[in-house]
Amino acid sequence: MEEVQELQSQSLGEDDKDEIVTENATFVQGEPPQDGNGPPKVDSEVEILHEKVKKQIIKEGHGQKPSKYSTCFLHYRAWTESTQHKFEDTWNEQRPFELVIGKEKKEMTGLGIGISNMKSGERALLHVGWEFGYGKEGSFSFPNVPPMADIIYEVELIGFDETKEGKPRSDMTVEERIGTADRRKMDGNALFKDEKLEEAMQQYEMAIAYMGDDFMFQLYGKYQDMALAVKNPCHLNMAACLIKLNRFEEAIGQCSIVLAEEENNVKALFRRGKARAALGQTDAAREDFLKARKYAPEDKVITRELRLLAEQDKALYQKQKEIYKGIFGARPEVKPKQNWLILLWQWLLSLFYRLFKLFKRETHKAD
């Protein structure tokens, strides 16, 4: 695989064919999907897709729209329009939803119409009439969905695979799923090289979707190794993109998934350390960097990050010292306190001594 960025260290600088390299990359701004108490407020033009389905674009997508029988991967949130109650959120579940256009469930007919009119990477607000939602009876699975409830979806189309027969993941062989995921990963690497970070993440997320927990649980032996060789690099590459987009919490999550499988993965430890350091979690970042150095003791990039943390700690200490000095001022001199009883006793002894000398002198004169 072509290298995307050059590193100064050996172990982190020479990635294998599965991973991109970003340790010296600069950061750019990005924004994750937002979630509030209700559907987002959107000012874009309303597009009528069907008598019962309307769409407003939140974020523009790219490329072509999926055709019939395309296998689509998406995230969505769903609210009932009348009550504004959210009843489903795949972003919270961290598992993309799979939908084959033309073969979707009846209650998702409106969602299918919306998806078929979206491009990869597009995020939109869909207004779906109850006829294309959960119908007259509402939903038994979601008690918040009453009878004849219109639905609002915030949906993002991650990507899709064009297949003539609309073959879902469950009908694929192990080799087909791993191969499809691997192609998505390589497409993501090419997009990353072109600085198309959001599009690259869509490819990685689709690849990960093919390697879902239900699928991985069934694998063992060489198939498990083959799947992990695709899945874990995708998580690490997602983390690299998220770090560049300043989405550090999400990057930490991606690295932690890899570390649950491989606790000594140097890249996962390093990238999680970078994300934690960016959030000001210096102790946790130092712990990650020290673990990474344990497995890659000669790596100069890890050593550099540890040195930067030490310099930050020193600078913070000096700053706090100056602040406290300005608030409280110089420490006043403390004069030792004298006990008044001792002073009285010393005065009495002195008086007694003088009286004794006077008495002695008078006695001597009388003699």
CATH number of the domain at 19, please.
Answer: 1.25.40.10
Q: What is the pLDDT of residue 1?
A: 37
pLDDT value of position 175? 87
E strand segments, 41-136: 47-50, 53-59, 71-80, 86-89, 97-100, 123-128
The CB density around residue 50, as the number of other CB atoms within 10 Å, is 15
List, for residues 214-229, the tens digit of each pLDDT value: 777 788 888 888 888 8
pLDDT in tens, 77-117: 999 998 889 999 988 876 788 888 888 889 999 999 999 99
| Same domain for 189 and 150 | no
At residue 9 the predicted structure's pLDDT band, cuts being 50, 70 and 90, is: very low
* Contacts with 163 (C-beta within 8 Å, 6 or more apart), sequence order: 69, 70, 71
DSSP state letter for 143 = T
Residues 196 and 154 in one domain: no
Is the entire prediction scored with pTM above 0.75? no
Domains contained in the chain, number: 2
Mean pLDDT, the chain, rounded, equals: 81
Task: Look up the domain containing 59 and give its range.
Answer: 47-161
Q: Where residue 324 falls among pLDDT bands split at 50, 70, 90?
A: low
The reply to whether 178 and 311 lie within a common domain is yes
Residues 130 and 202 in one domain: no
Q: How far apart are CA 290 and CA 351, in angstroms?
A: 74
Lowest mean pLDDT among 37-51, 133-147, 239-253, 341-355: 341-355
More confident residue, 69 or 341: 69
In this prediction, residue 355 carries a pLDDT of 74
290 and 261 share a domain?
yes
pLDDT for residue 168 is more than 80? no
